[in-house]
Amino acid sequence: MTNSNLSGSPVKALKTVLLVAVVCAVLVSLTAVSLRPLYLANLETERMARLATIARLATIVETLGRVADGMRLEDIEARVVKLEDGTYSDDIDPATYDARRAANDPGKSVDIPPQLDLAGIKRRADHAVVYLIRNSNNRVDALILPVRGVGYQSALYGYLALAADVNEILALKFYEHGETPGLGSRIQDPDWEALWPGNHAFDESGKVSIRVGASAGFAGDRIDGITGATRTITGVDRLVQFWLGDFGFGPYLERIRRGEG
């Protein structure tokens, strides 16, 4: 009797293992099936985000004139920059990196000291995606920087394009905001956007000198304000100063000046 029980134990154990394996396989299959719609939805969200980025870049590339002559969107090189020191972070995929989400993650962003927070955004992601336009010699002809800040009644999101000398401004275009229609919203008017090309971001000492809405007597390059949209224009002025400064893209722009980009 005892020998019979002992001889049957391995069989029972095998049956138990097989049963557990079958149950686990079924559960995994059911989980995969149930999560597939979410997986597909995430893929679609990512795809749409990429398309939106391409569309935004297309609108600014159209304004770059000689730099963009004959250039295709697929020729634009996206790189992730570590803002602290201006170096590239090749271990982060620029196609999937979300700076907005990162800015809300304490592990992927930093608090901005109040005295430096000109853009009014409070936190800054550790990294940012920049877009490079290179010539046939693989030298940078232009770069496109993402910028954001606070306007009168909304957050402002846009792109600032600089020439190879990282001083001449080629364009500033906002693609998202909620400013007052007919007033602050005019930051997207072609006539106002046309005021930017040809101005200079820095003075001879390397200090940010471009100002928006400054008085006519201002010594550096200046962009006219918009009547009735003083607070929006102040927001634009401050966000440009912030992102060109040391807590924004300043370290990266210095590396480009030295030919390290």
Tell me the pLDDT band of 34, cut-offs 50, 70 and 90: low
Give CA separation, 53 vs 61, 95, 105, 129, 214, in Å. Answer: 12, 9, 22, 11, 31
Return the minimum-mean-pLDDT range out of 50-59, 163-172, 238-247: 50-59
Question: Using one digit for the tens of pLDDT, what is the confidence trace for 141-193?
Answer: 889 999 999 999 999 999 999 988 999 998 899 988 999 999 999 999 989 99
Residues 6+ apart with CB under 8 A from 9: none
Q: Tell whether the model's pLDDT for residue 31 goes beyond 70.
A: no
Res 51: pLDDT = 47
- Mean pLDDT over 10-16 rounds to 68
- Mean pLDDT over 208-233 rounds to 87
Question: Using one digit for the tens of pLDDT, what is the confidence trace for 83-138?
Answer: 999 999 999 999 889 999 999 999 999 999 999 999 999 999 999 999 988 777 77
Res 48: pLDDT = 47
Distance CA 204, CA 92 (A): 35
Greater model confidence, 221 or 42: 221
Res 13: pLDDT = 66
Res 138: pLDDT = 75
Distance CA 239, CA 223 (A): 14
In terms of Cα–Cα distance, which of 141, 126, 157 is closest to 251?
126
Question: Using one digit for the tens of pLDDT, what is the confidence trace for 92-103?
Answer: 999 889 999 999
Res 1: pLDDT = 47
Provide the mean pLDDT of the chain: 83
Percent of the chain surpassing pLDDT 90: 53
Residue 135 CA from chain centroid, whole number: 23
Res 67: pLDDT = 59
SS3 label, residue 163: strand
User: Are 197 and 142 a contacting pair, CB within 8 Å?
Assistant: no
Distance CA 11, CA 18 (A): 10
Greater model confidence, 44 or 63: 63
SS3 label, residue 214: coil
Distance CA 165, CA 259 (A): 10
Tell me the pLDDT band of 33, cut-offs 50, 70 and 90: low
SS3 label, residue 124: strand
